[in-house]
Structure 1
Amino acid sequence: MQNQTMTWGEALKVYTRPKVLAMFFFGISAGLPLLLVFSTLTAWLRDYGISRTTIGFTAWIGITFSIKFIWAPIIDSLRIPVLTSVMGKRRSWILVSQIGVALGLFAMSQLNPQLALPAVFGFGILVAFCSASQDVVIDAYRIEAVDTEFQGAMAAMYVFGYRVALLIAGAGALFIAEYASWSAAYMAMAVLMGVGILTTLLVAEPDHNKVRAQNEAFQHAWVDRVLGSGKHGKVSEWFVRAVACPFIEFFERNGRFAIVLLLFIGIYRVSDIAMGVMANPFYLDLGFSKDDIAQIGKLFGFVCTMIGAFVGGALVVRFGILRPLILGAVMVAATNLLFAHLATLGPDKTWLAIVISADNISAGISNSVFIAFLSSLVNQTYTATQYALFSSLMTLPGKFISGFSGIVVDAQGYESFFIMVAILGIPAVLLAIYIWYRNRGQETAKDNEAAAG
């Protein structure tokens, strides 16, 4: 988390690094399956006359993405026979996950929902499981492939690829289905997974030897402490090493401050997530057309998000993580006040463009910086497990609170709702400032010790 001394030119040049560029293609591979088991899937089912009640059950497929931390320890510790020896710990798991997604999408392309609806659901769950697993291991690869100072750029490029994939799997799949067939749409998406597979085959595996050697003594000590000295069962020893040690290591390394970090992770995006579910209803209720929402809210918003993401990555390289982290928290909370102002104006397209640009640029900056921050917290012995936990924790409070957003809007109106959501962002700003201040104090103490020595 040290402050950087790079020029802006050097900071932006980071996007030309091969490992950073590779994250764009990994982002495509990760983003492609998401809509194919969510909104695109629901459109397919409805087009085939499946009832809305049945379609509603597809939401349960998404639970897979929220519980991926459960099997992350397996990805962190289990070797795939032969493949891990040939490709390495991360690349082997990425490849298996990608192949699983591609095969699942291919299988779905061969089915008629009217005749084989349970099979469509079953392969949808397979795609979601393999996609969530791919997310876990790509996050681990991203963190281990480069130093912390480049994590913002890695995250920005990953988000770019992910967003492009959402356009392909959303609008692109619908376009193919309209002019060809749903079978052709899902077949095309299965083929496009080849982009990620090719990337996995071309990139280099991160070096795990140094980290593994440093943490072997830690794991061995905790195995003896939990299970007692002497011989242990393979399953119980694996559980301590792969499941317990990632959490023990995080709390031992950070002490009581670990609670502050987990609290900060949980609240940083509350303001952003809590308002998201009301955005489209807000635009429609204000009088904007669907075309306005599509052109300004989606397409223009996409461009602004990408600008913000790349700016966020450059800020991390230029200034370190913590100062841009404060900036992101302030921007995300403040942009909700622009929504509150828009609520008083009516369907003003100029102001809609201003609000959308501010909201998406701030979201892009904050997401890139926050991903870099989370990446800096993990121990690379347990990258997949710890990051999966962090990424799950960062969305749960916001999703829970967003469930009450409709109640607030119905009772108080949109203007009051957005002001309340902005206020929800204040604790994240204060905690970000505290974390920066604490880190600066530690760095000053170290510099004084070095000078005295």
Structure 2
Amino acid sequence: MHTETTLETEQKGWLASCKIYLQKRVAILFFLGFSAGLPILLVFSTLSFWLREAGVSRASIGFFSWIALAYAFKWIWSPFVDRLSIPLLTQWLGRRRSWLLLSQLAIVLAIVGMALSDPQQNLALFAVCALVVAYSSATQDIVIDAFRIESAPERFQAAMAAAYMTGYRLAMIMAGAGALAIAALSSESEAYQLSAWSLSYFVMAVCMIVGIVTTFVADEPEQNPEKQHALEQRQQAIEAKLQASQLPGIAARFIAWLNIAVIAPFTDFFNRYGKHALLILILIGSYRISDIVMGIMANPFYVDMGYTKGEVAAISKVFGVIMTLVGAGLGGILLNRYSTYSILFLGAFLVVLTNLIFAVLAFVGKDLTLLTLIISMDNISAGIATTAFITYISKLTNIEFSATQYALFSSMMLLFPKFIAGFSGVYVDSFGYVNFFIASALIGLPVLALIMLLKK
């Protein structure tokens, strides 16, 4: 009898955990996640496939990946996104939605610019368009992260992170497998054809309409008047103190604003976490290192192993989508029932394991069954790991400085891994794919130890 009651309680607990995904605010994050996930692969692995097929060297592709460092430096302009208003747009849509719309329109225009460029004829122009996509996409990420944190209390954050990640990973499938499939179907042969890639990127630009429509449908997050008033008073006090020291009014006003917008978010974090702050920052800066370093060479690996665009796209489209939904959804449910550190550990461990299986594939040679297993594991592990990570850094963020602090954390997540990943092509040329995938797995082991240390 006691066992039956416990079972019923357990079932109700799982049901309640699943029902949270029906909330409107959670659904909005699904579509915004799609808008955020679409551009990144267009300047990351899909772009590397395009460049490799166009005859660009592996070393150049590795260095080309540094364009995505825009995501690692977004903390630099996040205070301006957090605090500045856009003339006319802010009055019409509100602070968060106005920045969302502006960044989304810039992404669309830059993707179209890539579609109209040819990396074989003008690699510099192609790189500039990719850079605009990356910086506009990073700006969109700043706004969406702040929007999510401000839109709901903490009890919704795990579900919103999971919904965001589901949309994000589906968009990555669209920008990865979808873009490859469009390019493959538009090609008359397996030889490089610019028109096929141009069509693929035009379709990706059209897909950004999902994010633009969601921006108009979503409600602007409510600001806390008391906290905003407190920040304004602090800024006025600093300004008055600076003017008293004979500093000109305009300079005093700017420095006071800079103090609240830039300095306060950083000092707030260290004041709240004290001696543990450094360990937390090290974990944030290294958590996704295995995944990111390996990701640069994944598509060049497929090309060099003899897989066609159609084969990679078909497997990613079927198993990738299924495992993405499973990984992100499962991650959100697990986070509602277990500690964040436990799910962080699980996600990081699965990523290490996936990289080792990539090494097995590199050793065995072309094998569609093994490729299916790898792509499935890659999506489910990334879904769990990223959902856990988003929830973790959301909990670290003070809602008063949501955009700036979250941008700092998510930038640190990418900075060191992206820099190391830039040398991935050189490493493969020197040591081969098997050693590369083993090394990319081994560098993830210290992350597991750090999670255990912080959990204690």
The alignment's TM-score, normalised by the length of structure 2, stands at 0.77
- Residue 247 in structure 1 maps to residue 266 in structure 2: yes
Aligned to 1:448: none
Q: Match of 2:192?
A: none
User: Separation in 2 of the partners of 1:335 and 1:51?
Assistant: 26
Q: Which residue of 2 aligns with 1:206?
A: 221
Residue 209 of structure 2 is matched in structure 1 by 194
Match of 1:130 in 2: 136
Give the whole-Å Cα distance in 2 for the aligned partners of 1:107 and 1:416: 37
Query: Residues 293 and 108 from structure 1, CA distance in 2 versus in 1: closer, same or farther, beyond 3 angstroms?
Result: closer
Return closer, same or farther for 1:12/1:44 CA change in 2, 3 Å cut-off: same
Q: Figure out how many residues of one structure are paired with residues of the other and give that number.
A: 434
Q: Give 1:148's match in structure 2, choosing from 142, 148, 154.
A: 154
Match of 1:259 among 278, 285, 309: 278
Tell me the alpha carbon deviations over residues 237-285 of structure 1, each in whole angstroms, 9 at most, x when there is no partner.
Answer: 1211111111111111211211111001112112222333344565667
Of 212, 235, 256 in structure 1, the residue corresponding to residue 254 of structure 2 is 235
Distance 1:379 1:355 in 2: 38
Q: What's the CA shift for 1:231?
A: 7.7
Contact 2:33–2:167 at 8 Å: present in 1 too?
A: yes
Contact 1:151–1:313 at 8 Å: present in 2 too? no
Map of 2:34 onto structure 1: 28
Deviations 1:105-134 (CA, angstroms, capped at 9, x unpaired): 567778899999987766655444332211
Residue from 334, 338, 345 that aligns with 1:326: 345
Q: Cα gap change, 1:6/1:222 in structure 2, threshold over 3 Å: closer, same or farther?
A: farther
| Letter of the structure 1 residue corresponding to residue 407 of structure 2 | A
CA distance in 1, matches of 2:376, 2:289: 20
The code of the aligned residue for 1:83 comes to L
Q: 2: CA distance between counterparts of 1:61 and 1:413?
A: 24
SS at match of 1:79: coil
Give the aligned partner of residue 447 of structure 1. none
Taking the aligned partners of 1:188 and 1:167, their CA distance within structure 2 comes to 14
Q: Which structure 2 segments of 5+ residues have no match?
A: 1-9, 189-194
Match of 1:93, SS? helix
Runs of at least 5 residues in structure 1 that lack an aligned partner in the other structure: 438-453
Equivalent residue, structure 2, for 1:276: 295
Counterpart code for 1:269: R
Task: Confirm or deny that 1:139 pairs with 2:148.
Answer: no
Three-state SS of the structure 1 residue aligned to 2:159 is helix
CA contact (8 A) 1:15 1:153 kept: yes
Q: Tell me, what secondary structure is at the counterpart of 2:399?
A: coil
Bigger mean CA offset, 181-190 vs 332-341: 181-190
Question: Within the alignment, does 1:317 sit opposite 2:336 as a pair?
Answer: yes
Shift, 1:195, TM fit: 2.2
Moved more, 31-40 or 258-267: 31-40
Q: Give the CA RMSD over aligned residues.
A: 4.4
Distance of 1:124 and 1:208 partners within structure 2: 34
Q: TM-score, normalised by structure 1?
A: 0.78
The one-letter code sitting in structure 1 at the alignment partner of 2:25 is K
Q: Provide Cα deviations, 1:12-54, integer angstroms capped at 9, x if missing partner.
A: 2222111111122212322334455667778989999999999
Q: Which residue in 1 is equivalent to 2:183?
A: 174
Q: Does 1:305 pair with 2:324?
A: yes
Q: Which amino acid aligns with 2:100?
A: I
**Aligned twin of 1:431:** 450
Q: Secondary structure at the match of 1:163?
A: helix
Verify the 8 A CA contact 1:224 1:230 in the aligned structure 2: no
Moved more, 114-123 or 25-34: 114-123
| Letter of the 1:240 counterpart | N
Match of 2:100 in 1: 94
Moved more, 9-18 or 117-126: 117-126
CA contact (8 A) 1:105 1:127 kept: yes
Residues 68, 418 of structure 2: 8 Å contact kept: no
Letter in 1 for 2:420: I
Q: What amino acid does structure 2 have at the position aligned with 1:8?
A: W
CA distance in 2, matches of 1:346, 1:47: 20
